[in-house]
Structure 1
Amino acid sequence: MRVEILHIDECPNWMEAGTRVEAALTELGRVDVEVTYRLLTDSVQAAAVPFAGSPTFLLDGVDAFPSDGRTSDLACRVYRIDTGFAGVPSVAQLVEAIQNHA
């Protein structure tokens, strides 16, 4: 499995995204999975990938949290979590997404 986090420089949530993905992978015993990051700097780059705002989590090139929100705008993404909305999904949500993908 490949995990890639698409992000923009202006959105600080990509750092927490990496921390949470690592925690989810550790919880699943998937220490063999490398997490990579791709900085998107313009709308052309964003349009070329399944980007739905920063951060977007790709599992083998597929959005882990699919929505109709694909965009070429360099914007932050919002996730629904148990307590409302946040800039990153919870570790539990990432665990579930990884399990469902595998």
Structure 2
Amino acid sequence: MRVELLVVTDCPNERPTFERLRQALDDAGHEDTPIAVRIVTEDTVGSIPAFAGSPTVVIDGADPFAEQVSPGAGLSCRVYRSAAGMAGAPSLDDLSRAVAR
């Protein structure tokens, strides 16, 4: 399994997303799966089709939350739907479901 976390510099939601993603992977028995953190810049954003705002989780080349994406996210912050409303990071439950797919 290849897991990436795509972020812009100083993204305030990078850490909680990374920590929840790490927990979801560990809980699913993927303790040895690394999470590659990739910084997205103005120069690279056009070459990363999976990037839908910061942070974006990519598992095996696909964004498991792609149905929530608005076109033209660019280098903006990303929001995720959750049981509590909109959030800057996916929930642990949502990440656990994404890892299990």
Q: TM above 0.5, one fold?
A: yes
Could you tell me how far 1:70 is from its partner in structure 2? 4.8
Q: 1:72 to 1:85 in 2, by over 3 A?
A: closer
Equivalent pairs: percent with the same residue? 38
Ranges in structure 2 where 5+ consecutive residues have no aligned partner: none
Q: Residues 46, 29 of structure 1: CA spacing in aligned structure 2 closer, same or farther, 3 A cutoff?
A: same
What's the CA shift string for 1:34-74, capped at 9, x where partnerless?
Answer: 101000121x4112111100000000111121134353621
The residue type paired with residue 45 of structure 2 is A
User: Contact 1:46 / 1:72 at 8 angstroms: preserved in 2?
Assistant: no
Q: Write the distance in 2 (CA, Å) between the matches of 1:20 and 1:47.
A: 27
1:8 is displaced (CA, Å) by 0.3
In the TM superposition, structure 1's runs of 4+ consecutive aligned residues that sit over 2 Å from their partners are 67-72
1:22-45 alpha-carbon deviations (Å, 9 max, x no partner): 110111111121101000121x41
| RMSD after superposition | 1.4
For these two proteins, the number of residue pairs brought into alignment is 99
Q: TM-score, normalised by structure 2?
A: 0.89
Unaligned stretches of 5+ in structure 1? none
